[in-house]
Structure 1
Amino acid sequence: MVQELSQNLTTGRVSKINQPYDNEVVLTIRTNGHNYPILLSANPTYARIQVTQIPYVNPPIPTNFTMILRKYLQGAIVKGITQAANDRVVHLHFTSRNELGDQQELLLIIEIMARHSNVILVDSASGKILDAIKHVGSDQNRYRLLLPGAQYITPPKQDLDNPFDGPRADLAQTLRDFPNEEVLAQTLQHQYQGLGKDTVAALSTVLHEPGDADQHFRDFFARFDAPQPTLTISPKGKTSFTAFPYPTAGTQHTSESLSALLDAYYQDKAERDRVQQQGSVLIRVVRNELKKNRNKLKKLQRTLAETENADDYRIKGEILTTYLNQVDRGQTEVSLPNFYDENNPLKIKLSNQLSPNQNAQKYFKRYQKAKNAVIYVNEQLKITQADVDYFSNIMAQIELAAPKDLVDIRLELQQGGYLRDHDHQKKNKKQKRQKVSKPDRFTASDGTKISVGKNNLQNDQLSLHTAKRTDIWLHVKDMPGSHVIIHDDDPSEATIMEAANLAAYFSKGRASSNVPVDYLPVKRLHKPNGAKPGYVIFTGQRTVYVTPESDLVEKLADN
């Protein structure tokens, strides 16, 4: 990766600096008429450095680290990119002008070390840290401080050989001592610096091939100079990436560059992680609302079951009224003829404190109360079930969302009163109405435009305001999903199937096969008064069945 970045970025100029996520910085380098967005990620799980084409949304207020980077690196020239031996540490060398116009040398260092990953800006002349994306004090690390003003100290060096310098003199002996590939792999990992498990396993296999082991070793590491970026899917479905094809079981696909390979590998994984981080508050609120309403639903269903005996109270009241002359005051129970079932007399419990007529009226009151409860409970069941469906839909939207889609979901929850707006800067001020973001755009194979709403506010805006009445509306049948609009009054069957694929892909049925999708003209949609965002009713729909295909979605997307 260092080699790939050096070839593309050296002599380039920093044109933009953004920090779209907590642990990730994007530097846009302008060189040879192209913009290269360089992602430096200190994410504990997905730490890496690469050119990325995955779009991102910047926070409204830049972080302190972003402001420091802009102060020192805006307009800076890339002098070079180097790696610290074979360690997971990359140095980006910059030259820029300070406030006095004097030239200064700066280092932007990314340390790719799982939860200890960091991005650090260092003054080359003094070795002082100007800032770091993660501050590490003495209470966290006694070996070195990663704080502004502290002296930058390199991570502890491993006393191992750099494999790119060639094999050890005793490699042949090591092979004789450890004929087993798995044991050999473990031994090599303790001898050479920076070898992951997959790389050392591949190296071990190569070294056991006939021929000169030393030459096999050199040839293996020489292949990193002419990479063939490879994505491997194992027979069990596990995905991994390598700089060139390793001798391993599975299906292998190559990419045009290492950065493109990492985008393909991390796009979904990293996006899910970002959504989980940025949407943690939303997820908690929605889960709590779901739990509350599901519990309420269970209680209402129990209450409804109890009211099913309402007619028993009416029958007992009627029989008591009919045979009042056979009932004496002070009785606690009486058995009377049952004109609803002549073969089985009815036993009726009585209160000895009430007259026979008062006992009868008591049963009529119980009947009326239970009857009223049935009406109320059924109304509440309908409302509560609608709330469960609504929050299930939002949870599905969060699961399918990109980080940029969370803004509208947050706004929707705030408008619904489920989430407080903690933006104190807007407090006691006239708040500017926040605009709903635009839906995703796609183009069918025949050139027809298709729009896809990714959340309820987008869905309402798209289906009820933006789309023409003659456009075609699509949605998965009976499950949460996006509203999809074909901007054509008479689309081809192929376009309908492609739009249906989009509807299925951006829905709860993404991982399913043969997903039913309804479609109809927009004019047949109707939103009931007071309905939740994203809710519509319709008639006269047709249904097609599709299996979501991610490759097709990518092909149709407007870039």
Structure 2
Amino acid sequence: MSFDGSFIHSMVNEFNQTLNGGRIAKINQPYANDIIMTIRSHRHNYHLLLSANPSFARAQITNVPYTNPSVPTNFTMTLRKYLSGGVLKQIHQVNNDRIIHFHFTTRNEIGDIEDLLLIVEIMARHSNIILINNESKRIIDAIKRIGSDKNRYRTILPGSTYIDPPKQNQISPFHFDAFDQLNALIRKYPNQDVLAHALQHLVQGIGKDTAEFLAGYLHRPGQLVNNFNQFFNHYDHPKPTLVINKRHQSSFMVYPFINDLDHQNKSFQTLSELLDFYYRDKTERERVKERGAALIRVVKNELKKNRNKIKKLNRTLKSAEHADEYKVKGEILTTYLNQIKSGMKEITLPNFYQQQKPIKIQLSLQKSPSENSQWYFKQYRKKQHAQKYVTKQLKNANQEIDYFENIRSQIEIANPDDLDEIKEELANGGYIKKHHQKKNRNRHRSHPEHFTSDNGITILVGKNNLQNDKLTMRTANKNDIWMHTQKIHGSHVIIRSNHPDNQTLIQAATLAAYFSKARESANVPVDYVPVKNLSKPNGAKPGFVIYRHQKTLSVTPKESVIQKLRSNQSKA
């Protein structure tokens, strides 16, 4: 279900029950488009997430941990200046639109009470978070400043007067009285899909999927008014549900509108818990893309460069395959040197290598007979040397491609914090420029992720090559079990046990498959050996090891298993 006006209606109800009357304790901006406000309410700290992310704009209470940047942004400092210690007096939605108003009262620098309004506009790439003075309607600042060159209807700049987004001529479903029009639509559009499209133009704040579910309710037997009110009553009394189809695609809903054998439903206590579960991996991937854009560009360029290099090397190698022909021609010319006359462009001579079959040999007018024969010997030696050189270069280029494919896989499964180590690895390898900075002993380093099997055994998963090297070659004991997907780029997995039970082996193998390039595949082969059967060749790239005497398991990675193993760790 989309984060439309109707869903926001339910979220605002949840906010009013939880946050109303709370006091702001902290304000942070962990990512460019996200604000997290810690609000102390009902003797509990709640983390209110306000996101203007173009893909995942939303407002919710979150329990997902985050890391703050070392230097706060200007917008963060502005929010702290005006809102720190402020009291959240009221939360309301503008009609049934995708706009939420958070009303705060706070004291200014001279002690006077100020009425401030934090406006969250959830409108895809036009989403924004705007702080205004509620009395004067003057904008104090916004997370995205919009000048007149970008929007002629309204500017969002400090000092400008705040103008509401353009209104649409629709009716809120929670104050709906146009049942005659609704009834006319149903008669005009008996097809449910066409009716759903028409409903979006009549009813305010319903996305495409909400309109489809509403159309289904309106086609039910019974009175139209009752069916309409029953549908939107779910938004006042939500049952937060995650719906997963057979293709493992999930969607969030305020109520289990889909309930059949083709879908699996998972219930949550609150809408915010539902959104945390749904968005956790999606937002993490988005943040990795944002923070790792430069790394992704380097990887793509290196892959392209080496693939082009292989094409050129293969052409050279194909040309060098005929090196022996130059040797034969040189020897024949040397044997019949006295038959070559000045001014000849070519000559046909007996070929004593192929039963006296004549061979035609091209000659250069600028060279003497002896120089022509020496030129063929020179070409032979050149191409022979090229074969050895090209074969070596092909091996190196293929190793580089394999290495950068592995790096790309690691970026895909990385947490935002893991990117610093991938960047450090590429800098150490000379692929990107090193930034000479003073060493910071307190610099945060990411660590392998910890999981716990159902039988209480610790499982460690490395997320990048530096982690993998340290985990496998230094942290693990020689009798611990090491796992890795077979011939597939992925993470090193260590089971901290020398005799793990079968269930732990399967769960660890599932982790190895999930944190690999084969995450979306089924029956993924995973090799496992004791750590003592591993070795790292001298000069090998980070993360590369050789192993022997391995055994293999086949598993299908499942998100539900990963979450369960994470929860086991939190309970441990």
Task: Find the counterpart in structure 2 of residue 534 from structure 1.
Answer: 543
Match of 1:403 in 2: 416
C-alpha distance after superposition, 1:206-230 (max 9, x if no partner): 2232222222222222221110123
Q: Deviations over 1:386-443 (max 9, x none)?
A: 1111111111212222322222222222333322356xxxx6x644475641111111
Paired letter, 2:382: K
User: How much is the aligned-residue C-alpha RMSD, in angstroms?
Assistant: 2.7
* Structure 1 residues 148-159: aligned runs within 5 Å: 148-159=158-169
Normalized against structure 1, the TM-score is what?
A: 0.90
Q: CA deviation at 1:177?
A: 4.2
Q: Which residue of 2 aligns with 1:463?
A: 472
- Identity across aligned pairs (percent)? 54
Partner of 1:194: 205
SS of 1:105's equivalent in the other structure is strand
Where 1:190 maps in the other structure, the secondary structure is helix
For residues 349 and 172 of structure 1, the distance between their equivalents in structure 2, rounded to whole angstroms, comes to 89
Which residue in 1 is equivalent to 2:297? 284
- Pairwise mapping of residues 437-456 of structure 1 onto structure 2 (< 5 A)? 437-456=446-465
Which residues in structure 2 correspond to 1:125-274 (within 5 Å)? 125-168=135-178, 170=180, 173-174=183-184, 177-178=187-188, 180=190, 181-233=192-244, 239-246=250-257, 251-256=263-268, 257-274=270-287
Q: Give the counterpart letter for 1:228 in structure 2.
A: K
- Equivalent of 1:385, from 392, 398, 419? 398
Equivalent residue for 1:57? 67
- CA drift of 1:271 comes to 2.7
Distance between the aligned counterparts of 1:496 and 1:234, measured in 2?
28
1:224-276 per-position Cα deviation (integer Å, ceiling 9, x unaligned): 11101233345777643321133687525143121222233323333333222
Pair 1:45-2:58 in alignment: no
TM-fit CA distance, 1:171: 5.3
| Shift in alpha-carbon separation, 1:238–1:474, aligned structure 2, 3 A | closer
Once residues 444 and 275 of structure 2 are traced to their aligned partners in structure 1, the CA distance between those partners, rounded to angstroms, is 33
Change beyond 3 A, Cα 1:168–1:355: closer
Kept in 2, the 8 Å contact 1:56–1:403? The answer is no
Closer/same/farther in 2, CA of residues 350 and 493 from structure 1, 3 Å limit: same
Partner of 2:385: 372
Whether the aligned pair in 1 keeps the contact of 2:33 and 2:143 (CA below 8 Å) is yes
1:329·1:352 contact (CA, 8 Å) conserved in 2?
yes
Distance 1:248 1:488 in 2: 43
CA displacement at 1:458 relative to structure 2: 1.6
Structure 1 residue 489 corresponds to structure 2 residue 498: yes
**Post-superposition offset of 1:554:** 1.4
C-alpha contact (below 8 Å) 2:183/2:224 kept by paired residues:
no
Aligned equivalents of 1:182 and 1:536: distance in 2? Answer: 56
Indicate the SS of the match to 1:69.
Answer: helix
TM-score relative to the length of structure 2: 0.88
Report how far residue 299 of structure 1 moved.
0.7
Contact 1:57-1:403 at 8 Å conserved across structures: no
Q: Cα distance, 1:294 vs. partner?
A: 0.8
Decide whether aligned partners of structure 1 residues 101 and 461 sit closer, same or farther in structure 2, where only a CA change above 3 A counts: farther
**Does the residue aligned with 1:491 lie in a helix, a strand or coil?**
coil
Cross-structure match for 2:323: 310
Structure 2 counterpart of 1:342: 355
- Give the 3-state SS of the residue equivalent to 2:313 in structure 1: helix
CA distance in 2 between partners of 1:371 and 1:495 (Å): 55
Give CA-to-partner distance per residue, 1:497-554, whole Å, 9 cap, x none.
2212111111111112222222222233333333322222333333222221221111
Q: By how many angstroms is 1:112 displaced?
A: 0.9
- 2:238 is paired with a residue whose SS is coil
| Distance change >3 Å, CA 172–CA 509, structure 1 → 2 | closer
Partner SS for 2:59? strand
Q: In the alignment, what sits opposite 1:293?
A: 306
Determine the C-alpha separation between the residues in 2 that align with 1:491 and 1:157: 63
Contact 2:37–2:49 (CA under 8 A) maintained in structure 1? yes
**Which amino acid in structure 2 is aligned with residue 496 of structure 1?**
L
Using the alignment, how far apart are the partners of 1:50 and 1:493 within structure 2? 40
Q: Report how far residue 168 of structure 1 moved.
A: 2.5
C-alpha displacement at 1:123, in angstroms?
2.7
> Does the CA contact (< 8 Å) of 1:171 and 1:213 recur in 2?
no
Tell me the CA shift for residue 357 of structure 1: 4.8
Shift of 1:106: 2.5
Distance of aligned partners of 1:176 and 1:228 in 2 relative to their CA distance in 1, 3 Å threshold: closer
Q: Separation in 2 of the partners of 1:192 and 1:172?
A: 9
Amino acid at match of 1:227: P
SS of 1:513 mapped into structure 2 = coil
* Whole-Å separation in 2 of the counterparts to 1:226 and 1:84: 20
Confirm or deny: 8 A CA contact 2:186 2:195 kept in the other structure.
no
Deviates most, 274-283 or 332-341: 332-341
Matches within 5 A, 1:48-127: 48-127=58-137
Given the superposition, is the C-alpha separation of residues 464 and 75 from structure 1 closer, same or farther in structure 2, using an over 3 Å criterion? farther
Q: Residues 7-18 of structure 1: matches in 2 within 5 Å?
A: 7-18=17-28
Letter in 1 for 2:134: S
Residue matched to 1:510: 519
Q: For residues 157-186 of structure 1, give each alpha carbon's deviation from its aligned partner in whole angstroms, at most 9, with x where no partner exists.
A: 333322112432525752674351445444
Are the counterparts in 2 of residues 470 and 522 from structure 1 also a CA contact under 8 Å? yes
Instruction: Choose from 489, 498, 509 the match for 1:500.
Output: 509
Q: Which amino acid aligns with 1:344?
A: K
Amino acid at match of 2:456: G
Partner in structure 1 of residue 6 of structure 2: none
- The answer (yes or no) to whether the contact 1:52–1:259 under 8 Å persists in 2 is yes
Counterpart CA distance in 2 for 1:166 and 1:401 is: 47
Point out the more displaced range, 315-324 or 211-220. 315-324
Deviation at residue 2 of structure 1 after TM alignment: 0.8
Provide closer, same or farther for how the CA distance between residues 100 and 489 of structure 1 changes in structure 2, counting only shifts above 3 A: farther
Cα pair 1:330 1:354 within 8 Å, conserved: no
Cα 1:152/1:315, change in 2 over 3 Å: same
8 A Cα contact 1:304 1:374, kept in partner:
yes
Residue 291 of structure 1 and its aligned partner are, at CA, apart by: 0.7
SS of 1:58's partner is coil
2-side partners of 1:248 and 1:194: how far apart?
Answer: 24
Q: Give distance in 1, aligned partners of 2:513 and 2:483.
A: 10
Q: Give the SS at the match of 1:446.
A: coil
Output the CA distance in 2 between the equivalents of 1:300 and 1:469: 42
Letter in 1 for 2:16: S
Seen in structure 2, the aligned counterparts of structure 1 residues 496 and 185 have a Cα distance that, compared at 3 Å, is closer
- Give the AA of the match of 1:212: Q
CA contact (8 A) 1:202 1:248 kept: no
- In the comparison of the two structures, how many residue pairs are matched? 554
How many Å apart are 1:310 and its aligned residue? 1.7
Q: Secondary structure at the match of 1:61?
A: coil
Between 1:453-462 and 1:486-495, the stretch displaced more is 486-495
Q: How far did residue 325 of structure 1 move?
A: 6.2
